[in-house]
Chains A and B, each alone.
Chain A
Amino acid sequence: MSMNLTLKIWRQPDASSAGAMHTYQLADVSPDMSFLEMLDVLNEQLNDKGEDPIAFDHDCREGICGSCGLMINGDAHGPEVTTTCQLHMRSFKDGETITIEPWRADAFPVVKDLIVDRSAFDRIVQQGGYISVNTGSAPEAHSVPVPRDDALRAFNVATCIGCGACVAACPNGSASLFMGAKITHLGELPQGQPERDSRVVNMVAQHDHEGFGGCTNIGACTAACPKEIPLDVISQLNKDLRTAIRHGH
Chain B
Amino acid sequence: MDMPDTVSAAEASASGFLDGDYDDAAGYYTPGTPLVDTKAPEGPIAERWQNRKFEARLVNPSNRRKLSIIIVGTGLAGASAAATLGEAGYNVKSFCYQDSPRRAHSIAAQGGINAAKNYKEDGDSVHRLFYDTVKGGDYRSRESNVYRLAEVSTNIIDQCVAQGVPFAREYGGLLDNRSFGGVQVSRTFYARGQTGQQLLIGAYQALERQVAAGTVSTYTRHEMLELITVDGKARGIIARDMVTGAVETHLADVVVLASGGYGNVFYLSTNAMGCNVTAAWRAHRKGAYMANPCYTQIHPTCIPVSGSHQSKLTLMSESLRNDGRIWVPKNQADCDKDPRDIPEEDRDYYLERIYPSFGNLVPRDIASRAAKNVCDEGRGVGPEVDGVRRGVYLDFSAAIERLGKKGITEKYDNLFDMYERITGENPFEVPMRIYPAVHYVMGGLWVDYDLQSTIPGLFVTGEANFSDHGANRLGASALMQGLADGYFVLPHTIRDYLADGPFEEITEDHPAVVEARESVKGRIDHFLSVNGTRSVDSYHRELGNIMWEYCGMERTETGLKKAIDLIRSLKDDFYRNVKVLGGAQTLNQSLEKAGRVADFFELGELMCIDALNRRESCGGHFRGESQTEDGEALRHDDEYAYVAAWEWAGEDSIPVLHKEDLVYTAIEMKQRSYK
| A residues lining the B interface (CB < 8 Å) | 13-14, 30-34, 36-38, 40-41, 44, 47-48, 50-53, 55, 57-62, 64-67, 82, 86, 88, 90, 111-112, 115, 117-119, 121-122, 125-127, 129-142, 144-148, 151, 154-155, 158-159, 161-162, 185-186, 189, 191-192
B189 to chain A: closest residue by CB: A141
How many chain B residues sit at the interface, stated as a range, is: 35 or more
CB < 8 Å: which of B107, B198, B218 contacts A158? B198
**Segment touching A, from B35-43, B158-166, B352-360, B662-670:** B158-166
The verdict on B314 contacting chain A, using a C-beta distance below 8 Å, is yes
Partner of B105, one of A44, A59, A86: A59
Residue B424 interfacial (CB < 8 Å): yes
Residues of B within 8 A of A53 (CB): 581-582, 589-590
Q: Pick the residue among A64, A127, A130, A142 that contacts B175 (CB under 8 A).
A: A142
Q: Is the CB of B212 within 8 A of A127?
A: yes
Tell me the nearest residue of chain A to B165, going by C-beta. Answer: A158
CA distance A90 to B421 in the complex (A): 10
Find chain B residues with CB under 8 A from A151 CB.
166-169, 173
B99, B102, B211, B535: residue with the most chain A Cβ atoms closer than 10 Å: B99
Decide if A59 touches B491 in the complex (CB within 8 Å).
Answer: no
Question: In the complex, which residues of chain A have a beta carbon less than 8 angstroms from the beta carbon of B491?
Answer: 135
Q: Which 3 A-B pairs have the closest CB atoms?
A: A145-B173, A130-B205, A138-B162
Of the candidates A31, A125, A135, A137, the one whose C-beta lies within 8 Å of that of B83 is A135
The smallest beta-carbon distance between A32 and chain B, in angstroms, is: 4
Whether A154 contacts B166 in the complex (CB less than 8 A), given A126-B212, A162-B102, comes out as: yes
Pick the contact of B164: A51, A115, A121, A154 (CB < 8 A).
A154
Query: Could you say which of A30, A37, A62, A138 contacts B159, with CB atoms under 8 Å apart?
Result: A138
A135 touches B537 (CB 8 A): no
Q: Which one, A64, A137, A144, contacts B107 given CB within 8 A?
A: A64
Residues in chain A near residue B523, CB distance under 8 A: none
B580 closest partner in A (C-beta): A47
Interchain nearest-CB distance for A177 vs B (Å)? 16
Closest to B197 in A: A64
Asked whether B250 is an interface residue with its Cβ less than 8 Å from the other chain, the reply is no
B429 within 8 A of A: no
Bound CA–CA A97/B204 (angstroms): 40
B166 touches A82 (CB 8 A): no
Within 8 A of A (CB), among B100-138: 100-105, 107-108, 117, 119
> Is B192 interfacial (CB-CB < 8 Å)?
yes
Closest to A62 in B: B314
The reply to whether A135 and B272 form a contact with Cβ atoms under 8 Å apart is no
Q: Check if B247 is an interface residue, CB within 8 A of chain A.
A: no
**Which of A13, A66, A136 meets B103, CB within 8 Å?**
A66
Contact with A126, one of B201, B209, B306 (Cβ below 8 angstroms): B209
In the assembly, what is the distance between CA of A90 and CA of B315, in Å? Answer: 21
> B311 interface residue, CB < 8 Å from A?
yes
Interface majority SS on A: helix, strand, loop or mixed? Answer: loop
Q: Which of A13, A30, A137, A158 is packed against the most chain B CB atoms within 10 Å?
A: A158
Contact B99 A13 (CB under 8 A): no
B556 within 8 A of A: no
Does B170 make an interface contact (CB < 8 A)?
yes
Partner of A145, one of B174, B204, B211, B581: B174
Cβ 8 A contact of B161, one of A64, A138, A185: A138
Chain A positions within 8 Å of B581 at CB level? 47, 50-53
Closest chain A residue, CB of each to CB of B586: A14
Known: A30-B306, A60-B108, A125-B205. A13 touches B586 (CB 8 A): yes
Residues of B that sit less than 8 Å from A by CB: 80, 83-84, 87, 98-105, 107-108, 117, 119, 155, 157-164, 166-175, 191-192, 194, 197-198, 201, 204-206, 208-209, 211-212, 218, 220, 243, 270, 272-274, 306-307, 309-312, 314-315, 383, 421-424, 487-488, 491, 535, 537-538, 579, 581-582, 586-587, 589-590
Choice from B80, B173, B315 contacting A148 with Cβ under 8 Å: B173
- Verify B535–A47 contact, CB threshold 8 A: yes
Once the chains are docked, how many angstroms separate the CA of A41 from the CA of B309? 7
14 CB contacts below 8 A, A to B, read A30-B306, A30-B307, A32-B383, A33-B309, A52-B582, A59-B274, A61-B312, A65-B107, A66-B103, A126-B209, A130-B208, A132-B209, A134-B87, A148-B169
* Contact assessment for B99 and A118 in the assembled complex, using a CB-CB cutoff below 8 Å: yes
A188 to chain B, nearest CB (A): 8
Structural contact, A129 and B105, CB atoms closer than 8 A? no
CB distance from A223 to the nearest CB of B (A): 18
Answer whether A32 and B312 are a contact pair too, CB < 8 Å, given A112-B587, A189-B164. no
- Give bound CA distance, A86 to B209, whole Å: 32
Q: Are A147 and B587 in contact (CB under 8 A)?
A: no
- Alpha-carbon separation in the docked complex, A14 to B220 (Å): 17
When C-beta atoms are compared, the residue in chain B nearest to A182 turns out to be B205
Q: What is the distance, in angstroms, from A226's C-beta to the closest C-beta of chain B?
A: 11
Greatest chain B CB density within 10 A among A67, A135, A139, A142 is at: A135
> Judging by beta carbons under 8 Å apart, are A145 and B205 in contact?
no
Chain B residue contacts of A148, Cβ below 8 A? 169-173
Beta-carbon contact of A37 and B310 below 8 Å: yes
Cα distance, A48 to B173, chains bound together (Å)? 59
Contact with A140, one of B158, B208, B270 (Cβ below 8 angstroms): B158
Pair A59/B272 contact, Cβ less than 8 Å: yes
> Which of A59, A119, A133: most chain B CB closer than 10 A?
A59
Are A121 and B100 in contact (CB-based, < 8 A)?
yes
Tell me the nearest residue of chain A to B205, going by C-beta: A130
Give the distance to chain B from A166, nearest Cβ to Cβ, in Å.
16
Asked whether A88 lies within 8 Å of B424 as measured between CB atoms, the reply is yes
Interface contact B98-A59, CB-CB below 8 Å:
yes
Q: Is the CB of A32 within 8 A of B424?
A: yes
Q: How far is the CA of A145 from the CA of B167 in the complex (A)?
A: 12
Q: What CA separation (Å) do A234 and B488 show in the bound complex?
A: 37
Q: Are A158 and B272 within 8 A (Cβ)?
A: no
Docked pose: A13 CA to B101 CA in angstroms: 25
Whether the pair B311, A61 counts as a contact (CB closer than 8 A) is yes
A65:B108 contact, CB within 8 angstroms = yes
- A-chain residues with CB within 8 Å of residue B422 when the two chains form the complex: 34, 86, 88
A67 to B311, CA, bound (A): 16
Neighbouring A residues of B383 by C-beta, 8 Å:
32
* B173 in contact with A31 (CB, 8 Å): no
Do B98 and A67 touch across chains, with their CB atoms under 8 A apart? yes
With both chains docked as a complex, state the minimum distance between the C-beta of B86 and any C-beta of chain A, in angstroms: 10
Question: Could you say which of A55, A65, A146, A158 contacts B173, with CB atoms under 8 Å apart?
Answer: A146
Could you tell me the distance in whole angstroms from the C-beta of A237 to the nearest C-beta in chain B? Answer: 17
Q: In angstroms, how far is the closest chain B Cβ from the Cβ of A193?
A: 11
Q: Which residues of A contact B201 (CB under 8 A)?
A: 158
B307 pairs with A32, CB closer than 8 A = yes
Q: Closest approach, in angstroms, between the C-beta of B633 and any C-beta of chain A? A: 31
**Given known A-B contacts A53-B581, A61-B311, A122-B100, A44 and B163 have beta carbons under 8 A apart:** no
Inter-chain contacts of B155 with A (CB < 8 A)? 136, 138
Q: Considering only CB atoms, which chain A residue lies closest to B211 in the complex?
A: A126
Cα A79 to Cα B160 with chains together (Å): 36
> Shortest beta-carbon distance, A249 to chain B, in Å?
17
Compute how far the CA of A135 lies from the CA of B87 in the bound complex, rounded to whole angstroms: 8
Nearest-CB residue, chain B, relative to A65: B103
* Contact present for B164 and A159 (CB under 8 Å): no
B218 surroundings in chain A (CB, below 8 A):
122
Query: Please, how many angstroms separate the alpha-carbon atoms of A70 and B557 in the complex?
Result: 47
Find the A residue at minimum CB distance from B172: A145
CA–CA, A225 to B578, complex, Å? 40
The CA of A119 and the CA of B586, in the complex, are separated in Å by: 19
